[in-house]
């Protein structure tokens, strides 16, 4: 094992070091490039801050799946929390709600770092942020039936499909290993991010 004994607290279905001696999970690592591509696109728009967060996510995800080490997991999961926070802030700003103070992000990250070895803690935090994001999106949809609704619906549906793939990969590895469903999670969520952020550019 080129990067040493895996010590991330979360495990994935893909076989290790099969395609490349330097990459623990080849398809999970390569698919992380999708985030970087989406991030580079949005980095060149008025959503520069979110674009940077997505690029950081792609790098963190790639390092995690390439090495399966704890530092890659911290980069990956930390980036997911920061990106979720930045998206929530953007949605709240568009709905004339007071933006969340960055102090909340500081406590969010510190709390995660303290308990980063407990995957269920991260999963609970990330899930809560996604539920809150969905709640804010529903408020927007109910108030404003605009052209952006198709993008919002696509974002939600693609994300849920991707989440379903992630769950199958975690729970039924023996039966779905050949499908590389975690890589599909990466591809699907990068597409959902790309589509879901379009309304911030057209309105």
In eight-state DSSP terms, residue 203 is: -
- What is the rounded CA–CA span in Å between residue 125 and residue 119? 10
Q: What pLDDT shows up at residue 153?
A: 86
Q: What is the dihedral of CA 94, 96, 98, 104, to 10 degrees?
A: -20
| pLDDT (mean) for 173-192 | 97
Is residue 146 predicted with pLDDT exceeding 70? no
- What is the rounded CA–CA span in Å between residue 9 and residue 119? 6
With H, G, I as helix, E, B as strand and everything else as coil, classify residue 23.
Answer: strand
- What is the rounded CA–CA span in Å between residue 55 and residue 61? 10
Contact 188, 162 (CB under 8 A): yes
- What is the rounded CA–CA span in Å between residue 77 and residue 26? 19
Model pLDDT for residues 3-50, shown as the tens digit of each residue: 999 999 999 999 999 999 999 999 999 999 999 999 999 999 999 999
Model pLDDT for residues 57-87, shown as the tens digit of each residue: 999 999 999 999 999 999 999 999 999 999 9
Contact 16, 67 (CB under 8 A): no
Predicted TM-score (pTM) above 0.85: yes
- Please report which helix (H) or strand (E) contains residue 53, including its range: helix 48-67
Contact 19, 11 (CB under 8 A): no
């Amino acid at each position: 094992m080129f990067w040493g004994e895996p010590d991330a607290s979360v495990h994935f279905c893909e076989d290790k070091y099969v395609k490349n001696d330097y990459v623990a999970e080849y398809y999970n690592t390569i698919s992380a490039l999708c985030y970087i591509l989406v991030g580079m696109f949005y980095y060149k728009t008025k959503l520069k801050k979110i674009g940077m967060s997505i690029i950081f996510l792609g790098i963190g995800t790639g390092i995690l799946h390439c090495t399966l080490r704890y530092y890659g997991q911290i980069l990956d999961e930390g980036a997911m929390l920061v990106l979720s926070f930045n998206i929530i802030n953007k949605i709240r700003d568009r709905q004339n709600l007071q933006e969340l103070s960055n102090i909340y992000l500081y406590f969010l990250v510190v709390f995660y770092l303290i308990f980063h070895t407990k995957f269920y803690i991260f999963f609970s935090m990330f899930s809560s942020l996604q539920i809150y994001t969905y709640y804010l999106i529903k408020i927007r949809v109910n108030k404003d039936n605009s052209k952006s609704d198709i993008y919002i619906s696509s974002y939600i549906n693609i994300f849920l499909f991707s989440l379903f793939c992630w769950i199958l990969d975690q729970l039924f590895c023996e039966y779905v290993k050949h499908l590389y469903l975690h890589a599909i999670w990466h591809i699907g969520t990068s597409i959902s991010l790309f589509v879901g952020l379009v309304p911030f550019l057209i309105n």
